[in-house]
Every structure is written in structure tokens, then in C-alpha cells.
A and B are shown apart, each in its own frame.
Chain A
Amino acid sequence: MVQQKSRTRAFLSLEIKSFYRFPIVECFVGVFTLLAFLNVLSVGSVTDFDVESPENLAGFLQSAASALLYLSVFPFMYLLVLLVPVLVSLVIAKPFEDGTIRTILTHPIKRSFLLLTKILITVVLPGTAATVALLLAIQFGFGIQPSVSQVALLVGSIWVFILSVASVTTLLSVISKKAATSATGGVVLWYSMVLLADLYGFPETARHVINPLSAALAYVLGGDGAPLLADVLVGLLGALSMAFVFIVVSIALFERSEI
């Protein structure tokens, strides 16, 4: 047990030193923090000071907090669609291409564990950077405290969205074994899926499963046509299930593949 823990730690350390060299992590941190703050630092929306209708103030606080959350998280969506497939391709497909996967496989660890660890790090890195950036923006850049449930929903949907993008690109990487192919495939596939999901007439549930982050953002922003919380949760669950299936298939293919 102790030996296994030490092997796992050694593998994790090697993985981070090999694939997450300076400035990959730092770029993620910087870009997410910049994006989280970029649109929320202005004075933003205002409301009339009207003694005839004091309830306006409560409405203003609610709508302003929701709008700030939306503005803070919305840029993440397109950034994640671009960055996560590239990161997954570099970490999973590139070792196949340059042959370093042979060296990695000399570690006394299971292939399934190896792939799972790689996926986990590719999810944890952007997920943590995005979450910390959002929480910092709320602390320093909002001036109004949004509701905890809205923040939790958005953070959860960010992580699920990253996982689903990472899982599909992992499958592409394991099948193609080429970094450029899987990166381009992942970016093009997700970009078109995100754009397709915004088209009028696209099935609502499929839209929420493909892009749970967009559904959660629409729910937080509210207004006409905003989805119900139940719909958003169904989307999150669907995206999680989809990611699980893709990861299982990727592991099965990886275990059978000849290297």
C-alpha cells in the first residue's frame, strides 16, 4: 500500500514535471484571472434612486449580481473549448507520437490508472484556475455578494464542461495517437457543437448536455427563455454520463492498443 502510494506520487510528480512545465500552469492562471475580472470592473448597470418604489433596490442587487456572474464566467466557455483539447492532446496524444509513452509505461502502474491520472490533471488544472479566478473576482471585483447556490452551480458546470471536453478529446487522442489531429479535432468539434447548440430549434436537452455551462449561465442570468434549474441539472448529469462513457471507452481502447 505504502509502495503503491509512493509510486503514484512519483508518477504524478513526473507527469507534472514533464507536461506542465513553465509557463503552462501560469498561463492558465493568468488568462482565467484576467477574463474573470475583465468585464466586471466597470460601474456597470445602474438603477434610479426612486423613493416611490424602494423594492427596486432589491431587484437591482439581484440582477446586478447575476449579470456580474454571467460576465465573469461567459468568457471561460470559449477559452475552455480552445485550451482543453490542446492540453489533452499535448498530454495524451503527443507521448504516442514522440514515443515517450513507452518510457511512461515502464512505470509499475496500470494503463487505466495512467490515463485516468492524465485526464484528472487536465481537468483539475483549468478547473482550479477558473474556480480561483471566479472566487477572486467575486471577492475583489463584484462589490455585491451573489448567492452561494448560483456560484456553486456555475463552478460545478465549469468542472463538468471541462470534463466533457477533456473526455471527448481523450478518445480522439487515443484513437488518432496524433497531437495535431486530436487537438484540431477537439477544438473544431467542440466549437461547432457549442455554436450548433445555440441555434434555434436545437433540442433543449441536447443543448444542455453538450454545453452545461451555457445552460447554467442562462439560468443564472434569468429573463425570458431561461432554463429551469431542473433542466440545468439534467444537462449536468447528462454531460457527466457522456464523459464517463467516453472515458471508459478511451481506457478500453488504450489498454488494448499496441505501443
Chain B
Amino acid sequence: MRIARIVLVYGLVFVILSFLPGTVAYGGGGASEGSYVGTTFRALNDIWVEVDTDNETCHFSLYLLDYENTNKALQDGNLGDTEFLVAHTDIVAFSGVIRIPYSGVYSLVLTTQADFLWVHIRVTAVVPRIQLLVAGGGLILVVVVVMGLRIVILRSKAKATHQIGR
């Protein structure tokens, strides 16, 4: 009974945490043809990304790399053998949700054909955080099911005892 209450508290806390908004992380810099500009960050769940530039006529490409590919790209010095989780090519601005498959370290990398482009990247977590919401909801569900079964078993036992008493 006590353990069930504690598990229920964990579940409720996880559900509350899953709805708490996070702070915005900023990145970016000056990009030119043949160079890479981007930001490496930690992500637990889906992220909301906004990318804009100081020149809205210049096109750029935006790629999302996981930790392994970030490491590989940094070692190689280019994105040649890199696998992208997400790729948006030939765009002038980006604003939207990017799906994150698992928590870890990711990089948003931007390339352009323009001579020079100043890039602003904003990254924030999307709420509700599905991972925590599922964990919290799962714990609450387990407690509710277990308590329900316990009540059913206790009632049937009480009924059996009552019948024997008669």
C-alpha cells in the first residue's frame, strides 16, 4: 500500500515535469560557402527549432546529426560520410518541430552557397515531454491496475468468508 502511494507520487511528479516548459538555447554565427555553422546541444525529446538569417534571399541547408555522426563529421572535417537524421535543403528560414529518436547529444549543422550569411539558431524542448509523460502515466496506470485488482481480490475473499460464515 505504501509502495503503491510512493509509485503514484513518482508518476504524478513525472507527469507534472513533462509539462514544464524549458529555456531556449541560442546558437549560430557567420556562414560562408564551404564552411559549416551549427550548434551542438543535449536533447531529451523533440525540439522546436527556429533558424533565420540576416539575408532572407540567401538559401541554406540544415542537417540534424546524432552524437556518432557529429563526432564523425568533426573528425573528418566535413559532412561527406555523415548520415543525417533530418535534412532540409535549399531553404531561406526554418521554424518547426524536429523529432528526436532518443535522448542524447545532437548537432544542427548549416551550410550555404552564399558568400556570407549571419545565422541565428534557437532550440527549445517541446512540451509535453513524451518520454516523461509516458513514464509517469505508465506508473499511475500500473498503480491503478494493481490497486483495482487488490480490491477485487479482497472483495471476493470477503464474500467467500461471508458465505462460509452462513
A residues whose Cβ falls under 8 Å from a Cβ of B: 22-23, 25-26, 29-30, 33-34, 37-38, 41-51, 54, 56-57, 60-61, 64, 68, 136, 140-144
Contact = CB atoms under 8 A, between A and B. Distances in A.
B77 A51 contact: yes
Nearest to B16: A34
B23 A43 contact: yes
B73 interface: yes
A57 B40 contact: yes
A57 B29 CA distance: 17
Given A34-B16, A41-B44, A141-B44, A46 B123 contact: yes
Chain B interface extent, by class: 35 or more
Interface in B11-41: 12-14, 16-17, 20, 22-27, 29, 36-41
A144 B42 contact: yes
A33 B29 contact: no
Contacts of B43: 43, 143
Contacts of A142: 42, 103
B5 A41 contact: no
A57 B70 contact: yes
A41 B42 CA distance: 10
B75 interface: yes
Contact of B105 (A42, A51, A144): A144
Contacts of B38: 48-49
B138 interface: no
Contacts of A61: 105
8 contacts: A25-B6, A34-B16, A44-B42, A45-B42, A48-B39, A49-B74, A51-B77, A144-B42
